[in-house]
Amino acid sequence: MRAIVVHEGGGPDVLKLEDVPEPTPNGKVLVRVEAAAVNHFDINQRMAPEMSGANPPFTPGVDAAGTRADTGERVLVSGALGSYAELVAAPPENVRPIPDSLDVDRAAALGVTYKTAWAALSDAELQAGETLLVQAGSSGTGQAAIDNGRYLGAKVYATAGSSKHDRLRELGAEPLAYDDERIPELGAAVVFDPVAGDVFERSLAALAPGGRLVTCGALESPMVTMNLWTLIGKRARIIGTGGGSVTPEELDHLIQLVADGKLNGPVIDRELPLDQAAEAHRLIEDRQTFGKVVLKP
């Protein structure tokens, strides 16, 4: 079968399309991949495999959708390494059935991003009527946070470059520039910040007294600075989170919410053939996308 293989950490060019042996089940479920989603996790893993526990050579990707090789059932796979391939072997709990109303591209893109957003807003205890600020609203995880926040009944603001503001409005968020002077006046009950770096202190400034800043990663930099008096004066909380805490049953619930139209589901920026995995990574790193990129084996 064909798969993307990483032999050493580095830039996008380390993503090589190769012919490799098909995986064997060994108690896992074999899935024929029709679409594989590209996540920021994949980029971090490609750059520094040792930091994520991957041992080169390996096939990246943790989200996909297609059909079970044994039954033909339509499924998505989330949280199982090796999805940039024609076949992936995944533990049974990582393989979830999908209804006919959910196309494979959106199913593939639903896993990491929607699990992460769901966990973040659950951990932050976002309530209907509260204000939510989503940093990097045009990213896949940011878009999922907007969608989940809207579903929960929050007033949603989101940051992005000015060229993406109309798209944010279409998702139901009020768009803001990253340095918008209104951010410190928002009084947000919750700020979802997957960016960190220089954005982190602005996220803290946006909080209302008793607010919660929830972060799942660091698109810019994991190193942040902040004024502790702001944190203390607002009696604010900083919460680290991630999609790994979401149970299979909760993922099934998210799938059904998208299938029923209660959540809009992932925005697909574009499809690319599997052999253009490096280009997919470049586009995301250069912030040229809105939502998700999926690879088609």
The domain spans of the chain are 2-111+246-296, 125-240
pLDDT band at 74 (very low <50, low <70, confident <90, very high): very high
- Torsion angle, CA of 107/141/49/3, rounded to 10 degrees? 20
- Topology match between the domains 2-111+246-296 and 125-240: no
pLDDT at 52 over 80: no
pLDDT in tens, 145-167: 999 999 999 999 999 999 999 99
pLDDT in tens, 13-38: 999 999 999 999 999 999 999 999 99
Enumerate the β-bridge partners of residue 90. Answer: 29
Residues whose CB falls within 8 Å of the CB of residue 234, separated by 6 or more in sequence, listed in order = 204, 207, 208, 209, 210, 211
pLDDT at 120 over 90: yes
Supply the pLDDT for residue 50: 85
CA dist 131 and 126 (Å) reads: 9
CA dist 239 and 228 (Å) reads: 15
DSSP classification of residue 118: H
Mean pLDDT over 160-178 rounds to: 97
Residues whose CB falls within 8 Å of the CB of residue 19, separated by 6 or more in sequence, listed in order = 1, 2
CA dist 109 and 130 (Å) reads: 27
pLDDT band at 254 (very low <50, low <70, confident <90, very high): very high
CA dist 247 and 146 (Å) reads: 21
Q: Decide: helix, strand or coil at residue 283.
A: helix
Name the CATH code of domain 2-111+246-296 (choices 3.40.50.2300, 1.20.950.20, 3.90.180.10, 3.20.20.150).
Answer: 3.90.180.10
The dihedrals phi and psi of 266, each to the nearest 5 degrees, come to -60, 140
Q: Decide: helix, strand or coil at residue 220.
A: coil
Topology (CATH) of 125-240: Rossmann fold (3.40.50)
Mean pLDDT over 280-293 rounds to: 96
DSSP classification of residue 42: H
CA distances from 20 to 1, 45, 85 (A): 6, 20, 9
pLDDT band at 67 (very low <50, low <70, confident <90, very high): very high
- Lowest-pLDDT range, 32-36, 82-86, 186-190, 218-222? 218-222
Percent of the chain with pLDDT over 90: 96
